[in-house]
Amino acid sequence: MARTHKIAVMPGDGTGPEVVAEGVKVLDKAAAKFGFTLDYSHFDYGGDRYLRTGEVLPENAVEELSRNDAIFLGAIGHPDVKPGILEKGILLALRFALDQYVNLRPIILYPNVDTPLKDKGPDDIDFVVVRENTEGLYAGAGGVLKKGTPDEVAIQESINTRKGVERCIRFAFEYARKRNKGKKVTLCGKTNVLTFAFDLWARAFYEVAEEYPDIQTDYAHVDATCMWMVKNPDWFDVIVTDNMFGDIITDLGAMIQGGMGIAAGGNLNPEGVSMFEPIGGSAPKYTGQNVINPMAAIGAAQMMLDYLGETEAAASVEQAIRTVVAEKMKSMSAGRMGYGTDEIGDLVAAAL
């Protein structure tokens, strides 16, 4: 019997549906070539549904999504919906409810892609950020007092549990071993100021590190991490960090790897259901014009194949991405690729 993977497809808002369609095109080609079946279920969660129904996620959403082996997400964010509602109500809600405790974000500069970093090339930019994905400032702890008055107080607390931090750190060490490149994990923190939270992180980090004598350890404050990512990105192999710092440094990472058009990520629960997404957002102004770069979504699809155990197919999609990026595309930016969104998907599928 052929292997079957159940995939929940959530195109979402803006250009999400366009890029997801290209990801699915490539997935279908990979499935045909490598002899497995993808059984898709479609979910219309996003801004349009919210505006129509007034609910962000229906009651049974988590349960229905959990019946799948993985989720393939386009983008969440709608210009007519107040910021925060969809992001917290859908994206963060799913990351939390499905306990996707690692947000894995590879920062790879493919050959022939422009980076704003002078004199840096593909040999210098090849690392991955392991971002804690369920705690920190994102946990929603805190509150507001005397709102709207001159005495207003707003408190937003960073939650760091030993368990949450440790599982994320352990994932980073395992990943560094499996990746087998620099064999180094850098903790990105702020131990000089956030002396409660990052003291916990640092202790957990060095304790876990003892179990991995083959992996080097390093530490950088988050501000210095930003500096080194620009100055010496080749120093990094695997960076592990908290939710907020991970959010920030991966946007910087996306820029040095050629832009949001190429940056993919996976929200992972190694023991549960993971969700793969291009990290760039819904880019509403490009919606429906066939100009958005679907490569990040195709990269997310490739990460999903790898996670589903279709490693050969994943490697082959990665090679196809490299080929199309190196030999065909003029730019990673929307509208300047030299091809339409759908043609990029065709090219990657053909290169497979």
Q: Residue numbers of the site for ligand IPM (CB under 6 A)?
A: 87, 91-92, 247, 279
Applying the rule CB under 5 A, the residues between 233 and 252 that interact with Mn ion are 247
Judged by beta carbon distances under 5 to 8 A according to partner kind, the member of ligand IPM, Mn ion, none in contact with residue 239 is none
Q: Interface with Mn ion includes 277 (CB under 5 A)?
A: no
Beta bridge partners of 189: 221
Do residues 125 and 114 lie in contact, with contact meaning Cβ atoms separated by under 8 Å?
no
Among 1, 12, 140, which Cα is nearest to 71's? Answer: 12
Closest residue to ligand IPM, judged by C-beta, is 87
Minimum CB–partner distance for residue 248 and ligand IPM (Å): 9
6/1 Cα distance (integer angstroms): 15
Minimum CB–partner distance for residue 138 and Mn ion (Å): 11
Q: Which is nearer to Mn ion, 174 or 277 (CB)?
A: 277
Q: Interface with Mn ion includes 306 (CB under 5 A)?
A: no
The DSSP 8-state label assigned to residue 103 in this structure reads E
Q: Which is nearer to ligand IPM, 129 or 348 (CB)?
A: 129
CB-side neighbour CA atoms (13 Å) of 328: 18
| Torsions phi, psi for 260 (to 5 deg) | -65, -20
Q: Which is nearer to ligand IPM, 134 or 186 (CB)?
A: 134
Q: Which is nearer to ligand IPM, 22 or 247 (CB)?
A: 247
Which residue in this structure is represented by tokens 């991490």? Answer: 225
Other beta carbons within 10 angstroms of residue 41's beta carbon come to 14
270/178 Cα distance (integer angstroms): 14
Q: Which is nearer to ligand IPM, 91 or 208 (CB)?
A: 91
Minimum CB–partner distance for residue 135 and ligand IPM (Å): 12
Do residues 246 and 131 lie in contact, with contact meaning Cβ atoms separated by under 8 Å?
yes
Minimum CB–partner distance for residue 261 and Mn ion (Å): 15
Q: By the criterion CB under 5 A, which residues form the site for Mn ion?
A: 247
